[in-house]
Structures are given as C-alpha cells and as structure tokens.
Structure 1
C-alpha cells in the first residue's frame, strides 16, 4: 500500500509539472534546499536564492530516488527525461527517471520544462536503445510523436522509492510542485527528497 501511494503521488507531481510553471494559479516547480519543517510548513531556499514556505497537505507523499545503471533503459521501458537540444538536432539527456510499471503512461508527451531555459521533458516508451561510445541513443514514442535522445554515461538515471517525513531534514535537497491556495500560501501534496547521496535531478 505504501509503495502504491508513493507511485500515485509521484505521478500526480509529474502530471502537475506539465502545466506552465508560473501560470496564474498553476503549479510552481521548486528545486532547492530545506531550511526547516514545522507544523507541516516546509521552508526551502530555492536554487534562485529565494526563501519560500510551502504548506504540506495532510497525508503528503514523500519519495526518494535510487540510482540505476544506464543498461536499465531497454526497449519497452517507460521513462521521463529532461533534455537539451544538441547542435546535431539530437536531444541530450540531463537526467532520466525510469518509471515503475505501475506508473506507465504518467505525463506522457514531449513538452517544455524549466530545468534550463532550453530544456524539454519527454515521458515516453523506449522503442529502441543503442549503446555507443558517447552513451545510449534512445528512440522514444509518445502520443504518436517520435523523439530521439542521447543519454551520456555521466547522466543520472534514477527510479522512485518510498521515503518518510523524517527524511525532510534541514540541508536536504528537494524537488516539488506546489500550487497557491486561496490564502496565497503554496501547498504541495508530494515532495521528492535527496537521500543516500541521490539528489533529485529533475
């Protein structure tokens, strides 16, 4: 049951991430370092240097990530990858999230992402995977659209695992998507936190 809740919560987080990050009333993606947690109010210093307070919903889901080998990406795997365009027209992955089978289809598509100004996110099934000297070349299909992505060997490949509120410690890196409530306070239903040295790369 815990694993199912983690998967459903992470799926909701990634689906929310498809909306424009700064849209009025829409989700805001936050990447940063925890400063504190008190009464479900999480204080985070973002990568932009701002300090924000995020209210964690009742029953908030907390997940961490586990590293995988690049060889885990095989035809038929459903992945999410943030990537930047290369000079040869091939997208170059910045990170890869390997979805568990229960999350197949989560956020499927190819759309803009705010990891960098030129990055995209592709959640799709791997049609083919070819190993080369410069990494693994993947052909992905999402909603009838084909996207080619090169995954260099140094790019982090991860998969979600359960975590707990106790993992939300000061200094830990987090990734989350939060929406402003009627009172203007940001609220999150899911937090992905660094654990065992694995920092959320999304």
Structure 2
C-alpha cells in the first residue's frame, strides 16, 4: 500500500469515490480514505490504526459527517430504497455487486450517480448510488438502480454484504470499532475528518 505522509498523520492513498457519498468539497487529489480500527474518538478528534499499523490522527468538527453502519440483508432492499452498490464489471459488460449499502431516508440522495471506484483490495470497479426501481430476475436479485442522469442494472449474488447507513454521533467513536475515515488537510494543513463510517456491533464496514 502506497503511503502519503502529512505531518502527524499517515494517509492510505485511494480514490475519494470509494466513499463519495459522504466526502466534502476538498480539492481533487487531497482527500484520502483510510480503513482501520479506532484507537480513540471524541467530538474533537479521532485516531485510527490501519491493518498494517499506520496511524491516522484527524480533527473532528461539527461539519464531520458520522454514519453508523449496521448489518442488513438483501430482504431489506425494496423498490424505492435508496442504495449505493460497489460492483465489478463482468466479461459480458453486466455489473455484479461487491457490496450494497442501504441509506436511511434522511440520507436519500447521497452521492447520486455512477462513477469509477476502487475497493479495499485495490481493484477497480464502479459505485452506483440511486433509487431501486425494480427487482428483476427469477430470484429477484437483479436491481435496476436509477439516478439523475441514467440507470444501471446490478446483479447481487447471494452472500454479497448488505449494510444499512444511518446518521450517527461522536458517541459511536469507540475504541475497537471498525471504521472508515475520509479526511483532507484543513486550512492549517492538519488532517480533518470529512466523514467517518463506523461499524456497529463489531461490523467491519464493507464499503
């Protein structure tokens, strides 16, 4: 994993679009996404340790978006659900989901659209955020996902992780929780958390 050092923090360099639904308007190329385990967290700061041992220290501000990520199932997806789904393009051009996250009603519209995406394994894929229009196929596991400028049909095989995203608070930032922090340098150059997705009940966010 290539690393970029910014003062006391260590950022894992990945694309912003891996969690574009909650990213703030930072200059292109300066926003970083880091996955790991929370060492500590509060309404003022968060410390995250990656699987390889690097540590990210970032400020938390009133503008930081915090989401709770909890377990869900495919049965929780219905027509008119607002979802995001990472997907891999198959040889025949169809999309096959890698994970699906269901947004709470208050988060409807987050990251609306279809874009390139890079997963935690470094592989290139796509991210589609939009409204489920139909559940197709004999088993109903083929979703038509509609967004402002188009739609995509995504196949969701059995066993693909499905989670729910709900608005959260700093009370979720507990030591040992698995999390994803999207951060960018603030005006003083210090890392500032733009968004934090925190797994609930020991869940590791799959996004």
**Bin of the TM-score, shorter chain as denominator length:** 0.7 to 0.9
Which SS does the other structure have where 2:141 is aligned? strand
> Which runs of 5 or more structure 2 residues have no equivalent in the other structure?
1-18
Partner of 2:75: 71
Partner of 2:7: none
Whether contact under 8 Å (1:109, 1:143) holds in the other structure is yes
Partner of 1:141: 146
Whether contact under 8 Å (2:42, 2:60) holds in the other structure is no
TM-score, structure 1 normalization: 0.78
Whether contact under 8 Å (1:13, 1:176) holds in the other structure is no
* The structure with more helix, counted as a fraction of residues: 1
Structure 1 stretch 31-40 or stretch 62-71: which is displaced more? 31-40
Which SS does the other structure have where 2:174 is aligned? coil
Q: String of CA shifts for 1:121-140, please: whole Å, max 9, x gaps.
A: 1001112112546x711112
CA RMSD of aligned residues (A): 2.8
Name the CA shift for 1:184/1:108 in 2 (closer, same or farther; >3 Å). same
Q: Aligned partners of 2:160 and 2:25: how far apart in 1? A: 22
Partner of 1:7: none
Partner of 1:14: 21
What is the number of residues matched between the two proteins? 187
> Which runs of 5 or more structure 1 residues have no equivalent in the other structure?
1-11
1:95 and 2:99 correspond: yes
Name the CA shift for 1:112/1:32 in 2 (closer, same or farther; >3 Å). same
